[in-house]
Amino acid sequence: MRFKITYHSGHKPPEDALDLLAQRLGPRREDVSFVKVGGEIWATVEADAPVSMTQDERADIGRRAVLAVVREVCEGATELNSDWFAVSSGR
């Protein structure tokens, strides 16, 4: 499943925050791969979900996985704050 990481509308991060996040994320972490495209970062979750799950359930699990990685990266970087970023479905 694909998701996009953008700036959260409720916060005013530094102009280079998305670039810094992309650098810190790298191309892959755990079961998630990342690529920066313009003003957003695309995240692809490669986890297998049970067939019995609905598309919405799979999307929620994937979104939470991406959020967890973003939070982890931001906790280790004094120049980043996970509140600055939003993760949405890339449908």
pLDDT at residue number 37:
95
* Sheet hosting strand 32-37, strand order edge to edge: 28-29, 32-37, 40-45, 2-7, 85-89
CA 71 – CA 86 distance, rounded (Å) = 11
Q: CA-CA distances (angstroms) from residue 10 to 7, 51, 86?
A: 9, 36, 10
Q: Which domain holds residue 37?
A: 2-89
- Total domains in the chain come to 1
Alpha helices in 26-81 (DSSP H): 55-75
Residue pLDDT tens, the chain, 91 long: 999 999 998 888 999 999 999 999 999 998 899 999 999 999 999 877 677 788 888 889 999 999 999 999 999 999 999 999 999 987 5
CA 12 – CA 10 distance, rounded (Å) = 7
pLDDT at residue number 18:
97
pLDDT at residue number 69:
97
